[in-house]
A and B are shown apart, each in its own frame.
Chain A
Amino acid sequence: MPRVVPDAVFLNIPYDAGFRRLYLAYIVGLIHLGLEPRVTLGIPNGARRLDKILELIKSCRYSIHDLSRVQLDRKHPRTPRFNMPFELGLAVALAKQNGTGHQWYVFESMNRRAQKSISDLNGTDPNIHDGLVEGVMRELCNAFVRSGLRPTVPAMMHTYRVLSRQVRTLQASVASGDLFQARLFADLCIAAKAAIE
């Protein structure tokens, strides 16, 4: 069993261009809250991938599962994206085990859609972000309450604007056209933190 990092958050999100803004919003929001986002970007494809994902979830005290883009893709044959709900299932199973203390949150863009698409979760309230950057930040503040000085959504939005203006420069500095890369993810976390300070 890997050591649980008390302020680590497993971020279960889609890695695609359409999610770019919300991806940055999650990074900025979590860093503002003094949490450490963790993603599967550094995990290579292969037989051991699932084990590594499970280890990653286990190492995080919290997990966020964004189901807003569990939809049919455009490529033939059109298939829904099962990775996010699958990893949500892993997190729920982990939380059920005694002594883990794992807490999971479902984020969605549309009210009541999760109840339809994954009715086993009926009775739980997903955090609805409306597909907006501000909505993600609002819902992060609803899901995580920091004792003492609490970050505000306007402060998060300010950091988001600073960071989003610098994304291209950061990408260029590592010669990466793809925003969804492990190294760039770490850089974005540092950049968000630097913008806050």
Chain B
Amino acid sequence: MKVECAKISEKVIAMTSRPAKITTPIPTLDELGKRLGVSKARQREIISIVRGEKNGHVKVRIGGTKGQIAFRKSAAVKGKSGKRASSRS
């Protein structure tokens, strides 16, 4: 019985302590979106949010809840919260 237990625990060690080697190709954004069931339109929306931020832009809403959404340089938006954005950058 003891020998059996030792064998089992050896197997457990072998299964968990070894790092997994990943050889599958890295999925593209499109492939990942498809697998996760995210529509193309939603993907584009998410990309614009993330990349806008990445490029030093922030998302601002122009007028009301159904207003346009524009991306402006973060520095340009500073201190102007609540004011209408006049142009796209």
* Chain A residues near B (Cβ < 8 Å): 6-7, 31, 33-36, 62, 92, 95, 103-106, 121-125, 142-147, 162-163, 165-166, 169-170, 173, 186-187, 189-191, 193-195, 197
Contact = CB atoms under 8 A, between A and B. Distances in A.
Given A103-B16, A162-B54, A166-B53, A190 B27 contact: no
Q: Chain B, interface size: which category?
A: 20 to 34
Contacts of B63: none
Nearest to B61: A172
Given A103-B15, A104-B15, A190-B32, A166 B38 contact: no
Contact of B43 (A31, A121, A124, A190): A190
B70 to A, nearest CB: 14
Given A7-B24, A36-B27, A146-B22, A194 B16 contact: no
Contact of A187 (B9, B27, B38): B38
A145 B18 CA distance: 10
B18 to A, nearest CB: 8
Nearest to B22: A146
28 contacts: A6-B24, A7-B24, A34-B24, A34-B26, A36-B35, A92-B12, A104-B16, A121-B12, A123-B9, A123-B13, A125-B17, A143-B20, A144-B22, A145-B20, A146-B21, A147-B23, A165-B53, A166-B49, A166-B53, A169-B59, A173-B45, A187-B38, A187-B46, A190-B38, A190-B47, A193-B32, A194-B29, A195-B50
